[in-house]
Structure 1
């Protein structure tokens, strides 16, 4: 089945039994859904922990409007949320606690019959807080995904004869501004003679660009904006002597060709 709606996960995080048996089974088997539910529960715990901290800033009305738009809430729910937010803003200072009055049976019945709407309001506000903290709405998640770097190419890096047993990987990520980075990993059993350097090389090996020194077994490097990855398709990691010569030593440890898509 498909992933449960974000609103279902938000209500589950607040302790509501709203998920069907199929949805609960999916969540138990889906790492992504379990992680999202865990984060929502953490947000709920944080929100509840701040209830007694004192005076909190009241969000502007536009905040509730945007949340309602994000969750595609009905007009009735929007009205309830706006009324609850207004009541929170306009509520008088809380008096000092005194002896608790004893309610008669009729009063208790009245409270039970009319108590559902205030509880719902409180739950909606808490759900809104979860949305604000973690961006539960599908549109917000879409924005986050758009801002996150996207893998556009990858390569398996194979060992050269002088470095048996070596291997590596390369993954090119592109951010929302179109800037590219490449993350390389290297597994080389032999210590380098000097230092290891990462290169981009054209398919015919007539041009190359140094991206920098690999410190350790993994590193992320910015690809210069003028480098065309349609030409510089080879990722190379070399063993460089400390001799002050900026050119490639000719001693490649691993190399591989980028595959796009």
Structure 2
């Protein structure tokens, strides 16, 4: 705890949190509840010069500061429209199906490595990957480590900063799917009361706010690959000022010490 206390005091003593210079940020997976929240926070609170979002079709409307980019731009080596060093990749356990969300490119977890490779080739050096999981089913060993060979392969690409955010995200129980699938969804929903409070899902807006702030402070942190566990994420969401906690963690304080 001494290391944590010292790190927190140092972070709180700063006049303002260390932020990187204005830049363009890219969001892959801007549809759905969580993806749209990350996009909104990047536009409103990220203080980025510009925010680009990968799309697979024309947007019915857009907002100031948002630059839609066709997803195929990543594979076009001759295209110079993509010039950013920071990117968000947002996965969701469930997303809405409507015209607005369908217009955004939605990455699949199995395609994480080729997507990360394409981003790295195009100059992205800081990558934040938001990975959802069912609160009751994430093994303890995976909370602070790689959950798949795909994540390990992405870490080997050589990003200056790479952060996997383990975000507890409960699936909504609905009437779609087979009877067996509906039963499985209901059964998982009943496990919610067994999950410790600090492993419960964080509201999408809170989560997006933390993710965007984390990305903004990466440039001032030591390089490396990190996995933000759900316990630390939940604790940061409950703090009146989460910045010192996140900065201490980025500075090397372990998640166990921080929580």
TM-score (norm 1): 0.17
Higher helix share: 2
TM-score (norm 2): 0.17
Higher strand share: 1
Q: Say which structure, 1 or 2, has more relative contact order (CA 8 Å, 6+ apart).
A: 2
Highest Rg: 1 or 2? 1
